[in-house]
């Protein structure tokens, strides 16, 4: 259980297992339920279209406890593949992305921040964690530089 009291649904763990071990998914986007009691899978896909994934994050919405809808934070995992600049082959790394846009409501941002560790603890094998607050933070090239530590071609 997280500091906010939210629990991680079994569907989150199952989907992550499909991404990590089964290699049947490319990414998963997680969200807090409308009552903020459970972290659940919002979207999962085997699509390699990174812009589709990025657009889903950028356009995510959340309700605050008063019912007002605005920009929304999300958690995501993405299985990045890249080629090494040295020519020594390719690598695959799973990145955990905590998306919390600057223009999201304060209440959703606080609840997402206090629930993040519960989800991360449930997902074994995360190579890199990224905090993203602006669309530029989740540009493909920006993330590849971080997860490859500059070794990507």
pTM beyond 0.75: yes
Name which of 97, 100, 91, 148 is nearest 126 in CA terms. 97
Rounded Cα gap, residues 115 and 133, in angstroms? 17
Tokens of 32: 């807090």
pLDDT tens string 88-138: 889 899 999 999 999 888 888 899 999 999 999 999 989 899 999 999 999
If phi > 0 it is left, if psi is from -120 to 50 it is alpha, else beta; for residue 84 that is beta
């Amino acid at each position: 259980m997280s500091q906010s009291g939210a629990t991680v649904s079994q569907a989150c763990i199952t989907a992550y297992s499909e991404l990590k071990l089964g290699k049947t998914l490319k990414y998963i986007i997680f969200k807090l339920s409308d009552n903020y009691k459970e972290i659940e899978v919002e979207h999962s896909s085997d699509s390699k279209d990174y812009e589709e994934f990025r657009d889903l994050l950028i356009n995510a919405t959340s309700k605050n406890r008063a019912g007002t809808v605005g920009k929304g934070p999300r958690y995501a995992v993405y299985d990045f593949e890249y080629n090494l600049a040295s020519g020594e082959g390719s690598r695959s790394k799973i990145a955990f992305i905590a998306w919390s846009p600057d223009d999201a409501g304060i209440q959703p941002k606080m609840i997402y921040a206090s629930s993040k560790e519960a989800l991360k603890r449930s997902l074994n094998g995360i190579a890199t964690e990224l905090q993203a607050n602006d669309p530029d933070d989740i540009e493909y090239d920006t993330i590849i530089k971080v997860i490859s530590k500059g070794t990507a071609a």
